[in-house]
Structure 1
Amino acid sequence: MNQKTIRAELEDYLKRNYISINQFAEASGVNSGTLSNIINGNRSISMLQLDRITEGIGLVEGSFYDLYIEDCFNHQPLNWRRLRPLLYRCAELDKLDCIGRLVGMMTDNLAYTPLLFDIAEDLFKQGKCTAAALLFEKVAESEKYQHSERLALCQYRIFTLTMFEENEVKLRAAVQFEGFVKRLDEMDQLDALKDLANTYLSLQRRDKVEKFAKEMGHIATIHYKYRNKQTKIKRLHKDPKMPLFVYILYAHILCSSVCVERGDYDLGLHYVSLYSDMSWVREDTEEAHRLMNQCKMWAKANSYLIRLMKGEFELLPEYVDYIEQYEEEILLALFMILQIANRNQFNVDDMLLRFEHQIPEFKARQGEEGRYTPLVIEDRYAHFMAELTLYYMNRGEYEKGMNYMLEGLESALKINSRVCIIRFVGLFEQFRYAASQESQMLYKHLISNVQNNNLAVSNLLIMESDSDNYTYS
């Protein structure tokens, strides 16, 4: 019995199917002489030849990769010219076990570490995130005693790849990455600090948001002043992803958000004034003006919101007129208005009637290109539905409120937002007496998904969750 190798498998296939080498060469596109030398063990197999042989035999792509690793690398010196294309092909086919085997062979030799890092970076840019994450983890493991910038970049990429995971995963990754930020180049630090601040914002960790926002603003301010003074000197640093002035403005936006959530409205307005004044910005490009105009819009909108939160309710019509010009911001604006109305028990029926035709469009718009990702839109839509439910329930319009509640619960389940799920379960239990038989049946069907997602129902059956932590900016 032949040892199980690619050569033996090919030879056995030809014999079983009474196919000559010439016939197989014609079917596979591999030269007959090359095939003969491969079968006789006189020639190694390239990746292209391996894929063509696999297809010629009628097997799924990558079926021979485990054998290929065994044939070419287990008992022979490693060859980067073969390893590199195989790693890329394994990433394309999502053959993570094969990548793990290959990298395990290579990480004993530190000379391969920078080469693996370069492939991981390339795969990351191509969007092959799972394979990239595996390589970054292996490189980080081999570099853990080196205290290098490459190690910090690996940790940054690993953190970045968890930003759309569940909150527990995001929190662990953020905490782990914090210790590596200062090892990055300062231009990379700006984006890393922005990503950490945004992650902690989504996790409702206000202290962390403020800390990293201020660090980001401090670094950006130093470099902005330096670059404007040294315009004729060759730059020593690479550019960050956004213009430097944007990091300064965004730091003020984040700090303003934190202040408002703490109830310090006056300090929040102070930060708004800082990112509304852009007289110091020197950039004069079309993109710079677009970004500055966007910040000015946020500043005006958030100034209205903070003053509404302070009790200046007479500004509501003026704010609604202003925000109606900006379609992407309407959903968030309505959410904030409803939150203020529910907190202060005042009537916004006219406003809801004004935007009634747009409410169903908010969810449908999630597939469109824009400033917000589909996940962000779905999350905001679920939060909005919770406030809308509470508004109508408090006004005794139970049927309308129950419809919005069930729709919102469905959205919350879709994105597995535990905060929203808890909120909707609490609302349903609070107003169960007003639910029709049909609504109770639909609720029971939806809540079964909570149990299937291993969320403890006993932890969900609470009357209300703290929705005040939803950011306004």
Structure 2
Amino acid sequence: METTMTLRSEIENGIAELGMNFSSFGELSGINRGIFSAILNGSPPKPISLNQMETITRAFGKPEGWMFDLYIEECFYDGKPNRRRVEPFLIRCAELGRKDCIREVLSRLLEDLKHVSMIFDIAETLFTAGKVQESLIFYECVVENEKYHHSERLAVSHYRIFRAMIGADNEQNLRAALRFEPFCGKLPDHHRLDGLLQLTTVYYSLERWKIAGHYADELIAFSANVYENENMKRIKYKKYEPLLTERPLVKYYGQGYLAKGIMFEAQGEYEQAKLYIEKYADLSWFEILDDQAEKEVEKFKLFAKANRLNLEILMGNTEYLNEYSEFLEKNPQEVLSGLLTIIKSSNQYGFFIDSIILKFSTYLIDTDQVFQVKESYYDQATITHTMSNIFYHLAEYYIRKENYVTAIDYSLQSLQVSIKIRNKNIFMKCIPFFEEFRNFSTTAQKQKYEALMKEMYRNA
């Protein structure tokens, strides 16, 4: 009990330094004199709650987390973990970044693996409160110590870690996806829907079309099955409780078809892509639609219109350029993906689009504007990935116009973004591009290229 007595000795010393007794310090702190007496002089001493510990800390004017390393013993009073103290203490440690204390407590808890369930509950409490990064140390602990491979909490822990790891870094996204994949099918339905959606999105951004298509197929089939089950429950039970999904159910269903269409588009199978557009163009037949779901249905109508025009441009039908340009003006969320399509098509079929580039030039000059588009439904990773592609294809466009300096500028912008997000597909194009046209580059461009190469090697 040595560390416990040390904690109590510190409290007694603090009271003495203030020139107070139990009664006067009780008035200062708001803790009853009798409780202080029981905490410090009881036989055995009364355990200190976390709330009391933090109240004492504030009364002493000490920083948050004061004496937390010694408070750990209070969590294991009489040698056994007390959940009423352990759980709030670990949550508070996570909030304050006290990983030293967390590791010590977890190490002691894991002497008996039945406490893995408590660790998982703490992780869920933090995650659902929006403290995602703080929750990860607990989910990792569950992953490392869960005895049952088919445990739902093991699958959910992998899912939470996967969601937290997804970002702008393509290589990290791939590692996260590979680690999570074996557990997606073991998730409860509401998480499995979102897991399939996220896997589809990750492989789409990595341009691994076959795998993206596989998960899109799974998403379509699984969301359709969930929809049928939910419809049956709604009809059968008077008090119908809908499945609490992160997004409306119609979102998962439509997104599966959208992803399949994009997969066929990326592989040049435009007629197949058109067939999939019709699958999500009008989802108003869905019977489970609240206000949020209605908005998703409207989004899919918009996506369908955008993607029909998209395909016409990709097929070289330039008579749709004006219509597409007007559509993009009215729907700024679609400007980036639309610009990419137009630039790629112009390079493939040899037509020029100076007026369209000029019209949307602010998106190319001030990339911050892209992230400030109101009601944008694209995440930062998708936007950044699209920008790196746009810059590369603009470089190709200006080479066609023999405007070499501008072309090289865009290739360097593309290289810079692709290094940042570790997009190997793009920077492996940018490097030979620069080398091919190096003789046309300015001194400043050569210096920027060399600096980017050094950055790439440092981050390799």
TM-score, normalising length: structure 2: 0.86
Are 2:354 and 1:354 aligned? no
Mark the runs of 5 or more structure 2 residues left unpaired by the alignment: none
**Do residues 434 (structure 1) and 437 (structure 2) align?**
no
| 1:273 lines up with 2:273 in the alignment | no
Equivalent pairs, count: 452
Give the CA deviation at 1:68: 1.4
* Counterpart check, 1:398 vs 2:404: yes
Shift of 1:391: 1.6
Partner of 1:380: 386
Q: Is the 8 A contact 2:250 2:297 kept in 1?
A: no
Counterpart of 1:468 in structure 2 is none
2: CA distance, partners of 1:144 / 1:85 = 25
- Return the alpha-carbon distance in structure 2 between the equivalents of residues 396 and 165 of structure 1: 33
Indicate the residue corresponding to 1:444 in structure 2. 450
Of 199, 208, 223, 1:196 maps to 199
> What are the superposed Cα offsets for residues 71-118 of structure 1, whole Å, 9 maximum, x if unpaired?
542862211111111011011112223222222322344543333322
- Whichever structure has more helix as a proportion of its residues is 2
Structure-2 change in CA distance of 1:36 and 1:121 (3 Å): same
**Which stretch shifts more, 249-258 or 187-196?**
187-196
Q: Pick from 159, 165, 185 the counterpart of residue 182 of structure 1.
A: 185
- Deviation, 1:25, is 5.9
State the AA in 2 paired with 1:122: T
Q: Residue 425 and residue 30 in structure 1: after superposition, are their counterparts in 2 closer, same or farther (change >3 A)?
A: farther
- CA–CA distance in structure 2, aligned partners of residues 141 and 446 of structure 1: 39
CA deviations over 1:381-426 (Å, ceiling 9, x no partner): 2322222222223322123333334444444444454444444444
Deviation string 1:296-346 (CA, Å, 9 cap, x unpaired) is: 221122122223223323322332222221111111111121122223332
User: Which of 281, 306, 312 is the matching residue for 1:307?
Assistant: 312
Answering whether residue 109 of structure 2 is matched by residue 106 of structure 1, we say yes
Shifted more, 283-292 versus 347-356: the winner is: 283-292
Alignment of 1:218-229 (within 5 A): 218-228=221-231
Deviations 1:205-225 (A, max 9, x none): 222211121112112223334
Asked whether the 8 Å contact 1:198–1:209 carries over to 2, the reply is yes
Cα distance in 2 for partners of 1:82, 1:245 equals 43
CA–CA distance in structure 2, aligned partners of residues 43 and 371 of structure 1: 54
Structure 1 Cα separation of the partners of residues 99 and 303 of structure 2: 44
State the alpha-carbon separation in 2 of the partners of residues 170 and 306 from structure 1. 28
Deviation larger for 104-113 or 177-186? 104-113
**Does the Cα contact within 8 Å between 2:169 and 2:420 map onto a contact in 1?**
no
Alignment CA distance shift 1:118-1:298 (3 Å): same
Q: CA deviation at 1:432?
A: 1.9
Quote the Cα distance in structure 2 between the aligned partners of 1:277 and 1:373: 24
Distance 1:292 1:411, change over 3 A: same
Are the aligned partners of 1:200 and 1:209 in contact in 2 as well (CA < 8 Å)? Answer: yes
In structure 2, how many angstroms separate the alpha carbons of the residues matched to 1:329 and 1:348?
18
Query: What secondary structure sits across from 1:346 in the alignment?
Result: coil
Q: Does 1:345 align with 2:346?
A: no
For the residues of structure 1 that align with 2:207 and 2:430, how far apart are their CA atoms?
19
| 3-state SS, counterpart of residue 183 of structure 1 | coil
Match for residue 6 of structure 1?
7
Stretch of structure 1 that moved more, 278-287 or 216-225: 278-287
Q: After TM superposition, give the deviation of residue 255 of structure 1 in Å.
A: 0.8
Would you say the 8 A contact 2:363–2:369 is kept in 1? Answer: no
- Contact 1:275 1:295 (C-alpha < 8 Å) held by counterparts: yes
1:95 maps to what in 2?
98
- Indicate if the aligned counterparts of 1:5 and 1:71 stay in contact, CA closer than 8 A: no
Report the secondary structure of 1:263's partner residue.
Answer: coil
Give the CA deviation at 1:256.
Answer: 0.9
Q: 1:291 aligns with which of 293, 296, 299?
A: 296
Deviations along 1:28-64, one digit per CA (max 9) or x if unpaired, are: 6656665565454733322133234444555542242
Deviates more, 1:243-252 or 1:22-31: 22-31
* Cα distance, 1:124 vs structure 2: 0.8
**Contact 1:187–1:237, Cα closer than 8 Å, also in 2:** no
Q: What residue is the counterpart of 1:159 in the other structure?
A: 162
Q: CA RMSD in A?
A: 3.1
> Contact 1:107/1:138 (CA < 8 Å) preserved in 2?
no
Per mean C-alpha deviation after superposition, the further-off stretch among 96-105 and 258-267 is 96-105
Match of 2:248 among 237, 243, 247: 243
2-structure distance, mates of 1:324, 1:242: 28
- The 2-side partners of 1:214 and 1:29 are apart by 61
CA shift in 2, pair 1:267/1:48, >3 Å: same
Contact 1:388 1:404 in 2 (8 A): yes
Partner of 1:328: 333
CA distance in 2, matches of 1:325, 1:368: 12
| 1: CA distance, partners of 2:381 / 2:218 | 28
Name the CA shift for 1:417/1:62 in 2 (closer, same or farther; >3 Å).
farther
Change (3 A) 1:272 1:74: same
Gap change, CA 1:18 and 1:271, over 3 Å in 2: closer
One-letter code aligned to 1:402: I
Q: Judging changes above 3 Å, is the alpha-carbon distance between structure 1 residues 6 and 421 closer, same or farther for their aligned structure 2 residues? A: farther
Find the partner of 2:175 among 172, 175, 187: 172
Q: CA contact under 8 A between 1:144 and 1:151: conserved in structure 2?
A: no
Q: Deviations over 1:328-386 (max 9, x none)?
A: 11111111211222233321112112222443344334256531233433332232222
Change (3 A) 1:222 1:32: closer
Q: Which residue of 2 aligns with 1:144?
A: 147
Q: Which moved more, 1:321-330 or 1:171-180?
A: 171-180
- Which shifted more, 54-63 or 203-212? 54-63
In structure 1, runs of 5+ residues without a counterpart are: 456-473
Q: 1:371 to 1:245 in 2, by over 3 A?
A: closer
- Residues 184, 325 of structure 1: alpha-carbon distance in 2 compared, 3 angstrom cutoff: same
